[in-house]
Amino acid sequence: MTITRRQSLGALGAMGLSAFMPRYAFAQDSETLVVPTLGGVWEQFWREHIAPAFEEATGAKVTLDVGNGRVFGANLRAAGVEEPPYSIVMTNEVFAQSLRKEGFFEELDLSKMPNYADLYPIAQTAGGYGAVGTFSPIGIGYRTDMISTKPTAWKDLWENPETKGLIGLYNFANSAGKMELLLASKIFGKDQYDVDAGFAALKELGQVIQVDFNLSTAMAAGEIAIAPFDFAEIVRLKGQGLPVDYAIPEEGVLAFDQTLNILANAPHKELAYAYANFLISPEIQDMLMRQFYTSPTNSKVVVPDELKTQVPISGEAMNAILQWDWEFVNENQAELSERWAKEVG
């Protein structure tokens, strides 16, 4: 993986970063773009590769603000719509939707984002207000030594007796937990809005292990045998020698998304557009795919044969990523969270 990343970065440097960002090479050294980013390995990669590459392409400076969607939202609301601390925010769409409704984000000026035209339709989101920078698809991860019948559908969590008492879920605080509820509502009810059916189905699962962020520990310890897992994490666990595998459910896949949003009153709006266009470029999307096994949102990126196991969702398969009404979730957040605590545990 290190060799692949170095080769990718080397190729990017050789072609000249400004070659795919000629319109934004005007930024002055005095301009500094504050970039909110996730922590851990994401922060490290941004600090070592993404930020320096953008600085080289624009002549601007980058300052990273490490946190998550909840933190970025709190910071924006504390500062107010008129004087936001950021010019651009990349976060889960569930958080972006409520901020957008509150007036923080503007409709994208696509003349400043030429790479937007090459995004898969599923990544051209929020009615022109957002663009998906990364998708980390979620399917079914399972222990091959604990489940003899390979799952093929989400319904198998309910129908296979081998999984009883060995199921893991993200809790409702995580966006994946919210997706689990909407998925159960869609499968067992009329549609994603039929949450009565969704809660009833989740309750039928019986005792489950719930986490906010990390299901891998429980999977590695054998406390769970099956759970919603992003494919990259199963690949990582498999690489450590654990008897695990993944399945792409026939009903479709969930996905952790990271939506790019431009602040309506951004202190450095032109630079924010440059950064957004930079992140969705084929070159950067290829880098992210090779480093994090994310599904490229730019249709010009082709997943090489040697990475198709690690990145199984690309091309036409991007249509398998299920979409959710986050406005519905946000408007009913308190009630749904309370019901989850009472009915799922």
Which DSSP string corresponds to 175-207?
HHHHHHHHHHHHHHSSSTT-HHHHHHHHHHT-S
Q: Under a CB-based contact definition with an 8 Å cutoff, are residues 251 and 201 in contact?
A: no
Q: Under a CB-based contact definition with an 8 Å cutoff, are residues 158 and 204 in contact?
A: yes
Give the Å distances, CA to CA, from 291 to 3, 54, 295.
11, 17, 11
Rounded to an integer, the average pLDDT of 261-270 is 98
- Rounded CA gap, 286 and 297, in Å? 10
Rounded to an integer, the average pLDDT of 58-71 is 95
Six token digits for residue 275: 């950064």
Model confidence pLDDT, tens digit, residues 3-58: 344 444 444 543 344 444 544 444 455 689 999 999 999 999 999 999 999 999 99
Contacting residues for 72 by C-beta, under 8 A, at least 6 apart: 36, 65, 86, 89, 91, 95
Model confidence pLDDT, tens digit, residues 74-126: 999 999 999 999 999 999 999 999 999 999 999 999 999 999 999 999 999 99
Contacting residues for 206 by C-beta, under 8 A, at least 6 apart: 164, 165, 167
Helix, strand, or coil here: 338?
helix
What is the crossing angle of helices 269-279 and 282-292, to 10°?
A: 60
What average pLDDT is seen over the chain?
92
Half-sphere exposure (CA, 13 Å, Cβ side) for 338? Answer: 4
Q: Under a CB-based contact definition with an 8 Å cutoff, are residues 12 and 53 in contact?
A: yes
Q: Under a CB-based contact definition with an 8 Å cutoff, are residues 168 and 224 in contact?
A: yes
Asked whether residue 266 carries a pLDDT value surpassing 70, the answer given is yes
Model confidence pLDDT, tens digit, residues 302-316: 999 999 999 999 999
Half-sphere exposure (CA, 13 Å, Cβ side) for 138? Answer: 20
pTM of the predicted protein model: 0.91
**What are the helix and strand counts (H, E) for the chain?**
14, 10
Residue-level pLDDT at 26: 47
Residue 61's beta-bridge partner residues?
32
Model confidence pLDDT, tens digit, residues 184-226: 999 999 999 999 999 999 999 999 999 998 999 999 999 999 9
Contacting residues for 53 by C-beta, under 8 A, at least 6 apart: 12, 17, 278, 284
All domains of the chain in start order, with CATH: 2-135+256-314 (3.40.190.10), 137-254+324-343 (3.40.190.10)
Contacting residues for 314 by C-beta, under 8 A, at least 6 apart: 295, 296, 301, 302, 303, 308
- By residue count, the chain amounts to 345
Helix, strand, or coil here: 251?
coil
